[in-house]
Amino acid sequence: LPTIQAHGDVGLLDRRCLAGHDFSRGDVVVFRSPTYHRRRSVQRLIALPGDWIQIPEKREIRQVPDGHCWVEGDNAGHSWDSRHYGPVPLGLMEGRITHIIWPPDRIQRVDRMVPEGRIMPQHRHVF
Query: Does residue 18 belong to any structural domain of this protein?
Result: yes
pLDDT of residue 38: 92
What CATH number is attached to the domain comprising 45? 2.10.109.10
Over range 58-84, report the average pLDDT: 91
pLDDT of residue 126: 44
Task: Compare 30 and 8 and report the one with higher pLDDT.
Answer: 30
Residue 9 has φ and ψ, to the nearest 5°, of: -80, 140
pTM for the full model? Answer: 0.87
Query: Does residue 1 belong to any structural domain of this protein?
Result: no
Decide if 106 contacts 5 (C-beta within 8 A): yes
Domain containing residue 25? 10-109
- Number of domains observed in the structure of the chain: 1
Query: Does residue 127 belong to any structural domain of this protein?
Result: no
Query: Does residue 53 belong to any structural domain of this protein?
Result: yes
